[in-house]
């Protein structure tokens, strides 16, 4: 079954404590991306990656880091989380160049920073 | 700068009615226009998509209408059912969908029994 898997699904953390949200996909997709969803603001892209070792900023990258060392994994790193990063986060993936342009989303990770 | 404007923010429709959600875009390079459906506690999932070479695409009870000159597109849900209650996002992308998607802010649809 085609899947994008995120962990943890729910997390409450404190300001300044580094955390990582993992993302893995089993579809051999080159493109992976992170979004945050906030009420009234919709889905905003944080970072994306077109392939291994290739990453680029989206619309709201401040306060986040990513890495793409393997094709299937694309972790999101919050080095020093702040309350304004409290949000619902989605990882997504798709193929490139004729292999299907449908974006598949994970089920989301609820993050609360206190 | 919001490149895809979606309205309304929320919508209540009676069972059996027609739900209509509208989106407008500014970037003339956009050539792929999908709609995503999101149920509570789940990630968005592709519902239906259209390219600008056609004015309408229908899949079951869901239809996208596209007006290239007005730079607008809309989702129509015929015979709306309570199971259609969800948040709907329109989106747009250049490059046939192989470039970054820009999403609208979403519409919460409630279909009352």
pLDDT by residue (tens digit) across A61-114? 999 999 999 999 999 999 999 999 999 999 999 987 665 688 999 999 999 999
Predicted confidence band at B1 (pLDDT cuts at 50, 70, 90)? low
**Angle in degrees, CA A44, B35, B61, rounded to 5:** 155
What is d(CA A72, CA B103) in angstroms, rounded to the nearest whole number?
24
What residues in A contact B101, CB-CB < 8 Å?
A: 45, 103
User: In angstroms, how far is CA A19 from the centroid of its own chain?
Assistant: 13
Interface A-B: count of C-beta contacts within 8 A: 44
Query: Tokens representing B66?
Result: 């596209």
Q: Quick check: A66 and A54 in contact, CB under 8 A? A: no
Counting residues of chain A whose pLDDT is more than 70, the rounded percentage is 96
Select from B89, B98, B102, B106 the residue whose CB has the most chain A CBs within 10 Å, as the one to mutate to test that interface.
B98
pLDDT tens, position by position, B29-87: 999 999 999 999 999 999 999 998 999 999 999 999 999 999 999 999 999 999 999 99
The answer to whether the bond into B8 is cis (omega within 30° of 0) is yes
- Assess whether pLDDT exceeds 80 at residue A50: yes
Q: What is the dihedral of CA B90, B94, B98, B104, to 10 degrees?
A: -20
Mean pLDDT across chain A, nearest whole number? Answer: 94
pLDDT at B21: 98
To the nearest whole Å, the CA of B113 is away from the closest chain A CA by 26
Say which DSSP state A113 is in.
Answer: E
pLDDT tens, position by position, B55-67: 999 999 999 999 9
Query: Tokens representing A53?
Result: 């070792």
What residues in A contact B100, CB-CB < 8 Å?
A: 33, 45, 48, 58
């Amino acid at each position: 079954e085609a899947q994008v898997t995120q962990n943890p699904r729910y997390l409450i953390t404190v300001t300044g404590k580094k955390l990582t949200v993992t993302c893995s996909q089993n579809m051999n997709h080159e493109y992976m991306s992170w979004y945050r969803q906030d009420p009234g603001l919709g889905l905003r892209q944080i970072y994306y990656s077109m392939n291994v070792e290739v990453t680029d900023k989206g619309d709201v990258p401040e306060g986040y880091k990513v890495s793409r060392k393997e094709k299937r994994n694309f972790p999101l790193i919050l080095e020093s989380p702040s309350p304004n990063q409290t949000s619902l986060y989605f990882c997504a993936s798709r193929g490139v160049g004729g292999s299907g342009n449908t974006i598949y989303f994970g089920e989301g990770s609820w993050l609360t920073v206190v | 700068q919001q490149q895809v404007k979606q309205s309304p923010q929320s919508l209540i429709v009676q069972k059996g009615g027609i739900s209509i959600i509208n989106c407008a875009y500014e970037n003339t390079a956009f050539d792929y226009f999908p709609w995503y459906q999101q149920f509570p506690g789940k990630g968005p999932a592709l519902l239906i998509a259209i390219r600008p070479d056609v004015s309408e695409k229908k899949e079951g009870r869901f239809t996208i209408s596209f007006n290239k000159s007005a730079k607008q597109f809309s989702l129509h849900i015929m015979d709306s059912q309570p199971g259609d209650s969800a948040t709907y996002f329109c989106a747009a992308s250049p490059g046939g969908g192989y470039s970054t998607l820009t999403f609208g802010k979403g519409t919460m649809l409630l279909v009352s029994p």
